[in-house]
Structure 1
């Protein structure tokens, strides 16, 4: 898994997380509040920024993850834990020590595989360690 594939994997995780959130009844057009609407717009803007490699998507990602935890703690489980690590910064405060150790080990293995020109199968590695990241 090269850097572009790693990036695209996380972009896919964002899309999947947004789809899960938008499917909730509280985000239905007849129930949505102004705060909810702004949050979804920020989430969609992040995806657009990442898709086009424009703007400061890295900082936007941290902001969106922090908004999710702060505004919708009951729905945090709908976002992939991978995203908390990917965006880092304050998002790391929401990962426990075991998760941080897992992601640190994954990063080391990914970089080793890249340096040696080997294929890195993140999904298989997560399965091997029995980790779910959603």
Structure 2
């Protein structure tokens, strides 16, 4: 599994844990809609682990559904996760964020071309600091 896919999987795992601490997912008995959502989430994580060709498309749909149906949980999403899965999720990012992640892509490409290792979260944080961005990855 490449660095980016592992980051996406780790971010989805962390996001699920955080969602379970908030309504409506922290209820003792889940409504059918929430149970279905968590079932699809688990399926997405399995698809990501197995590198299914559809995992990014399904990730886009599930993140967009999370934002539409549970707007109170949107603050739990790492912003770069929206960038990495792309598609409809890019519409939830502002222009400054899009610029930041484009700069990330350029820096990551340079690291890879020079055979250098890098940490995605550290690189994004450094770019945020460099650009004076006030948005954070997660709250």
Residue 105 (str. 1) matches residue 103 (str. 2): yes
Aligned to 1:20: 18
Aligned to 2:132: none
Deviations 1:72-119 (A, max 9, x none): 011011121111001101100000011100000000110111011122
CA distance in 2, matches of 1:115, 1:74: 40
CA distance in 2, matches of 1:75, 1:26: 10
Please state which structure has a larger fraction of its residues in helix. Answer: 1
Aligned to 1:45: 43
Aligned to 1:83: 81
Task: Show structure 1 runs of 5+ residues with no match.
Answer: none
Deviations 1:45-86 (A, max 9, x none): 110100111251111000001100110011011121111001
TM-score (norm 2): 0.86
Aligned residues: 132
Q: 1:28–1:127: structure 2 CA closer, same or farther, 3 Å change rule?
A: closer
The offset of 1:9, in angstroms, is: 1.2
CA contact (8 A) 2:64 2:89 kept: yes
* 87-96 vs 54-63, which moves further: 54-63
Higher relative contact order (CA 8 A, sep 6+): 1
CA distance in 2, matches of 1:105, 1:50: 25
Pairing 1:53-132 to 2, within 5 Å after superposition: 53-54=51-52, 56-128=54-126, 129-130=128-129, 132=136
The CA RMSD over aligned residues, in Å, is 1.7
* 85-94 vs 32-41, which moves further: 32-41
Q: Secondary structure at the match of 1:27?
A: coil
The offset of 1:35, in angstroms, is: 0.9
